[in-house]
């Protein structure tokens, strides 16, 4: 259907709906589902295809239940601008009634991860009347099918595809844009989202006499929080303003820039004084760009991930702003003393009552059609302060001019993370790291008593880590390990001192759960540098500095933070900011290529700093329904790198297994798992609330992975952007993933250095309501065919209902070639066993058969690795098998689980130990097949 039909039905002088124009997007395909209360309540399902929104009316609405089918009536195409239409269509007009943006996001054709390929597939699918897509919305996720009914032109069926998102849940009935109900949208006609026919307020359009002297009026919303300043304060305080002169150099833009990424700072070693620089607080949270466009708010991470669903209160707070703008800020969670806690922020969704969620805003990049990035820093900050509403959640981040050393002492005494220094005349460099912005971190130091040491690993000599502690009530309390800060000489010297003090018993009040520990008499005191105390009273990011001979071990206590004489104000400014007037900056040529910054070194006196730390808060968790078999004490898992949180959280309600049990499992099984995930990007499937709750996939860890973790930026062809993947090469990273809720481990089929070339081929045998006998018969047929080609097939359970067969190959060939080989073998199996196997993708067409899924061989597609747990009933694991164990009478996948695997590997060892030694040449195999 053409847009002419859409335009013909509407009088655009009476309705705020957008006029029909074809408008193609480039990097993503979008969808929207709008809840529409017209003559009858229904939902409009719209997919972007060839520059328009192809549309269906679904009377009973979307589902997540695979057993339910919904009637979907094909209606006229809508323009792309309709994707964020929310408001009221006047009575008497076509479709008159209230419209809500019920859900929106991106999607691709099923079986494709490329936008261009998806577009071609979708055109054909639409023509053929059989559309299969994978949705990435805030409510709708995973596979959905639209199928035209036989003999009908406009009557289609909407179905949910079988995947991990299939459920019988009820959906939230609020707008994903504004959080409003239909009734609230209908009653709030003055604040309709669609603004195309309204006069833009406070924009830069017009002549040079245009002046914005007042803060833009923010319409009152139901969720708007109390403003920080009182009315009296607001009337008497001096308000900053900006004029057209301030934006004379700003560049007009025709389209809203959704792809911008934040400017990054360069690390500097010390604070300094300079009249050419300002100094802002460095916040311990998530960096975010706040995109506000046509009333829709998007909180976007530094690598373009959405924070909207995670921090909905901030979305509500920013939704009161009606001007289009892009702001730069930091999302934090603070305690009652105003100190931020990064761990609270990470787990805010699980514990929303712990701390106060805020966003400190320190820059503005765009305002009502103008690019502000070419303006000087202080010009941008003046504009920002003038237009930014001050609420409990939204806070303007102030600064001091010139006095960096004084500012550094203040943040050290307060116990915050450090400073950001910015050159006054600097422009904003989108998606670049600049030496015109510097980050200066506060480091904390404290004495610690050494109570033991671990054995070295790999090529390291002497010892692995020192076990540290402090005295409390006369007892030595464990505070974690330190393994960094040594060289070969200091390792040898320290090792001699340690061995001279060895004893058989632990000196700690509670014996740390660490393997292969040598205990020593607690007579050595070490000076340790660290970032903060964790909630379990361990040091975070400790580094060894030196031994102390001037302090007795019994005098080593956990030091508490001193009160700050100059705390941060309620508006986030360093206290002296309000009285500090900017000094005139020296003229400087404006250039993209700036010289290296050489900060002045502070005096020794100026760098003396007190020991500052956050007050430890014990995590409170409810007792599990069934006693966990987790190790006694949470500290047993904590290393110098990873702190485990909420180990008693129930992950399997039926069996009573906990998050702690998962971490125990990966702690014990690390040596068996690591060979199969080393150097491979991880697509993390996180299930932080257990198997009964919907999980999610996380690929991009930029801005969230700890500094010590190995990551790799990989280009995505579908989005033309870089994704920063986690690389798991050690136990600490494996435990870190498990602590995030990764019950399942999903590596790529290729490694760093040869990412386009997989080193194994996968045969995924997926039973669809068939018998174990058919599954076993199919697996043995695959083995029979592989044996005829002199190929060793490696067998394992999927951890679900099926089986996997892997073939190691030399990483010289493409994913397409590996998929072609898997397809050839799968066709041979299907030809031999046509009654019990199938290559048909639609589940309903292969009921009672084993699906031979050769499409799992694709770049970026992942499969649970050997020994990975699965978020399934029984806590099953993907387990390597001997072919002789495949007995259709006695074999059951539930025998291989979180409890049986550790004992199994002790008995049988790794059945895949020779896997990579038997890599075959794929070309030779294809030549054999002729």
Predicted local confidence at residue 673, as pLDDT: 96
Predicted local confidence at residue 568, as pLDDT: 33
Question: Do the domain assignments include residue 610?
Answer: no
Predicted local confidence at residue 483, as pLDDT: 86
Predicted local confidence at residue 17, as pLDDT: 59
Tell me: do 391 and 466 sit in the same domain. no
Q: Which residues contact 329 (CB under 8 A, 6 or more apart)?
A: 287, 288, 290, 359, 360, 361, 362, 363, 397
Burial class (CB in 10 A: 0-12, 13-18, 19+), 198: exposed
Tell me: do 182 and 49 sit in the same domain. yes
Sign of CA dihedral 157, 162, 167, 170: negative
Tell me: do 705 and 838 sit in the same domain. no
- The CA-based diameter of the chain, rounded to the nearest angstrom, is 92
* Number of domain units in the chain: 5
What's the token pair of residue 707? 């500094």
Tell me: do 174 and 251 sit in the same domain. no
DSSP 747: B
Question: Do the domain assignments include residue 620?
Answer: no
Question: Do the domain assignments include residue 384?
Answer: yes
Q: Which residues contact 202 (CB under 8 A, 6 or more apart)?
A: 212, 216, 323, 368, 387
The tens digit of pLDDT for each residue in 400-450 reads: 998 888 898 888 877 777 899 999 989 999 988 888 998 887 767 788 999
What's the token pair of residue 582? 């900017």
CA dist., res. 270 & res. 638, Å (int):
31
CA dist., res. 745 & res. 735, Å (int):
11
User: Rounded to the nearest 5 degrees, what angle is found at the Cα of 264, between the Cα atoms of 262 and 265?
Assistant: 150
Residues forming beta bridges with residue 807, ordered by sequence position: 761
Strand intervals (E) in 305-349: 325-334
Residue 207 backbone phi and psi in degrees, to 5: -85, 180
CATH number of the domain where residue 461 is located: 2.40.50.140
Burial class (CB in 10 A: 0-12, 13-18, 19+), 664: buried
Tell me: do 431 and 494 sit in the same domain. no
Predicted local confidence at residue 163, as pLDDT: 84
Residues forming beta bridges with residue 130, ordered by sequence position: 147
CA dist., res. 916 & res. 482, Å (int):
35
SS3 content of the chain, % helix, strand, coil (to 5): 20, 30, 50
Question: Do the domain assignments include residue 567?
Answer: no
Tell me: do 39 and 118 sit in the same domain. yes
Q: Which of 930, 925, 911, 926 is nearest to 790 (CA)?
A: 925
Tell me: do 155 and 32 sit in the same domain. yes
At which of 555, 581, 606 does a domain end?
555
Contact between 525 and 551 under an 8 Å Cβ cutoff? The reply is yes
Residues forming beta bridges with residue 165, ordered by sequence position: none
Q: Which residues contact 458 (CB under 8 A, 6 or more apart)?
A: none
Tell me: do 457 and 437 sit in the same domain. no
Tell how far CA 546 is from the center of its chain: 37
Question: Do the domain assignments include residue 582?
Answer: no
Tell me: do 314 and 414 sit in the same domain. yes
CA dist., res. 133 & res. 165, Å (int):
14
Residues forming beta bridges with residue 288, ordered by sequence position: 301, 329
Predicted local confidence at residue 23, as pLDDT: 61
Predicted local confidence at residue 890, as pLDDT: 79
Q: What is the DSSP string of 16-84?
A: -SPP------SS-EEEEEEEEESSSEEEEEEEEETTEEEEEEETT-----TT-EEEEEEEEEEEGGGGG
Burial class (CB in 10 A: 0-12, 13-18, 19+), 60: middle
CATH number of the domain where residue 713 is located: 3.90.920.10
CA dist., res. 870 & res. 894, Å (int):
11
What's the token pair of residue 490? 């200091």
Question: Do the domain assignments include residue 89?
Answer: yes
Question: Do the domain assignments include residue 606?
Answer: no
Question: Do the domain assignments include residue 616?
Answer: no
Those residues of the chain that have pLDDT short of 70 are 1-26, 92, 94, 188-248, 269, 342-343, 347, 443, 458-459, 535, 549-550, 560-640, 717-720, 928-930
What's the token pair of residue 60? 């009973």
Tell me: do 534 and 405 sit in the same domain. no
Q: What is the DSSP string of 238-250?
A: PPP-EEGGGGTTP
At which of 393, 418, 442 does a domain end?
442
Predicted local confidence at residue 220, as pLDDT: 31
CATH number of the domain where residue 353 is located: 3.30.470.30
Tell me: do 450 and 428 sit in the same domain. no
- Full-prediction pTM beyond 0.85? no
Q: Which of 631, 629, 623, 619 is nearest to 649 (CA)?
A: 623
Tell me: do 735 and 774 sit in the same domain. no
Rounded to the nearest 10 degrees, how much is the dihedral formed by the CA atoms of 534, 301, 738, 630? Answer: 40
At which of 555, 580, 613 does a domain end?
555
- The domain in which residue 279 lies consists of 246-442
């Amino acid at each position: 259907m053409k847009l002419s039909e859409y335009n013909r039905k509407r009088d655009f002088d009476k309705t705020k709906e957008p006029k029909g124009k074809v408008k193609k997007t480039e990097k993503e395909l979008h969808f929207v589902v709008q809840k529409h209360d017209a003559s009858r309540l229904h939902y409009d399902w719209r997919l972007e295809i060839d520059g328009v929104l192809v549309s269906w009316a679904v009377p009973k609405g979307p589902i997540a239940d695979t057993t339910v089918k919904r009637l979907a009536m094909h209606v006229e195409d809508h323009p792309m601008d309709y994707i964020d239409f929310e408001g009221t269509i006047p009575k008497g007009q076509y479709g008159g009634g209230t419209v809500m943006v019920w859900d929106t996001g991106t999607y691709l054709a099923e079986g494709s991860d490329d936008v261009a390929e998806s577009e071609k597939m979708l055109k054909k699918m639409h023509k053929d009347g059989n559309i299969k897509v994978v949705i990435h919305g805030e409510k709708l996720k995973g596979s959905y099918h639209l199928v035209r009914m036989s003999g009908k032109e406009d009557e289609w069926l909407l179905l949910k595809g079988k995947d991990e998102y299939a459920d019988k849940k009820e959906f939230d009935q609020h707008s994903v844009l504004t959080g409003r109900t239909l009734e609230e949208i209908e009653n709030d006609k003055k604040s309709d989202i669609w603004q195309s026919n309204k006069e833009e307020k406070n924009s830069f359009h017009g002549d040079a006499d245009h002046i914005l002297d007042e803060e833009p009026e923010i319409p009152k919303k139901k969720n708007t929080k109390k403003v920080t300043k009182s009315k009296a304060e607001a009337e008497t305080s001096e308000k900053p303003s900006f004029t057209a002169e301030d934006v004379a150099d700003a560049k007009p833009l025709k389209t809203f820039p959704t792809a911008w990424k934040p400017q990054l700072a360069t690390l500097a070693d010390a604070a300094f004084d300079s009249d050419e620089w300002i100094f802002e607080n460095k916040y311990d949270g998530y960096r975010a760009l706040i995109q506000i466009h046509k009333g829709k708010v998007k909180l976007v991470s530094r690598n373009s991930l959405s924070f909207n669903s995670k921090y909905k209160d901030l979305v509500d707070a920013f939704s009161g702003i009606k001007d289009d703008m892009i702001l730069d800020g930091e999302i934090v969670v603070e305690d009652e003393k105003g100190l931020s806690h990064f761990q609270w922020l990470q787990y805010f969704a699980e514990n929303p009552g712990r701390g106060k969620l805020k966003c400190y805003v320190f820059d503005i990049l765009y305002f009502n059609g103008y690019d502000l990035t070419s303006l000087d820093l202080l010009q941008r900050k003046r504009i920002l302060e003038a237009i930014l509403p001050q609420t409990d959640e939204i806070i303007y981040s102030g600064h001091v001019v010139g006095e960096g050393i004084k500012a550094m002492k203040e943040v050290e005494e307060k116990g915050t993370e450090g400073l950001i220094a910015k050159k006054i005349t600097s422009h904003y460099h989108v998606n670049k790291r600049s030496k015109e912005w510097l980050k200066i971190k506060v480091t904390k130091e404290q004495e610690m008593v050494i109570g033991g040491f671990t054995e070295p690993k790999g090529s390291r000599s002497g010892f692995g880590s020192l076990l540290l502690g402090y005295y409390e009530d006369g007892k030595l309390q464990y505070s974690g390990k330190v393994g960094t800060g040594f060289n070969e000489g200091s390792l040898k010297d320290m090792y001699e001192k340690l061995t001279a003090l060895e004893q058989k018993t632990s000196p700690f009040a509670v014996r740390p759960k660490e393997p292969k520990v040598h205990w020593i008499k607690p007579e050595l005191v070490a000076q340790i540098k660290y970032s903060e105390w964790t909630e379990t009273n361990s040091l975070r990011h400790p580094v060894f500095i030196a031994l102390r001979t001037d302090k007795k071990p019994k005098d080593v206590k956990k030091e508490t933070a001193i009160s700050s004489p100059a705390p941060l104000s309620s508006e986030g400014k360093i206290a002296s900011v309000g009285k500090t007037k900017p000094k005139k900056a020296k003229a400087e040529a404006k250039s993209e290529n700036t010289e290296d910054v050489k900060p002045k070194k502070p005096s020794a006196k100026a760098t003396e700093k007190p020991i500052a730390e956050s007050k430890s808060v014990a995590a409170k968790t409810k007792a599990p329904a069934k006693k966990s078999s987790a190790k006694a004490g949470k500290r047993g898992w904590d290393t110098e790198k990873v702190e485990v949180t909420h180990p008693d959280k129930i992950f399997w309600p039926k069996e009573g297994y906990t998050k702690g049990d998962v971490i125990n499992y990966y702690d014990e099984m690390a040596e068996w798992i690591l060979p199969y995930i080393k150097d491979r990007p991880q697509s993390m499937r996180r299930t932080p609330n257990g198997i009964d709750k919907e999980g999610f996939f996380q690929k991009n860890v930029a801005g969230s992975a700890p500094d010590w973790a190995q990551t790799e930026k990989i280009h995505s062809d579908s989005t033309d952007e870089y994704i920063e993947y986690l690389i798991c090469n050690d136990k600490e990273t494996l435990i870190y993933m498990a602590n995030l809720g990764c019950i399942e481990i999903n590596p790529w089929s290729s490694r760093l250095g040869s990412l386009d070339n997989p080193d194994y081929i996968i045969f995924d045998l997926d039973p669809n309501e068939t018998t174990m006998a058919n599954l076993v018969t199919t697996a043995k047929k695959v083995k029979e065919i592989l044996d005829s080609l002199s190929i060793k097939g490696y067998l394992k359970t999927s951890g679900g209902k099926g089986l996997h067969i892997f073939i190691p190959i030399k990483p010289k060939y493409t994913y397409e070639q590996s998929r072609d080989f898997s397809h050839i073998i799968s066709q041979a199996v299907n030809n031999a066993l046509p009654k019990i196997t199938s290559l048909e993708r639609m589940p309903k067409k292969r009921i009672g058969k084993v699906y031979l899924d050769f499409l799992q061989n694709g770049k970026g597609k992942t499969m649970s690795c050997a020994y990975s747990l699965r978020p399934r009933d029984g806590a099953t694991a993907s387990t390597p098998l001997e072919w002789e164990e495949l007995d259709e009478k006695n074999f059951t996948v539930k025998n291989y689980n979180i409890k049986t695997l550790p004992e199994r590997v002790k008995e049988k060892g790794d059945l895949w130990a020779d896997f990579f030694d038997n890599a075959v040449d794929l070309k030779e195999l294809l030549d054999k097949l002729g």
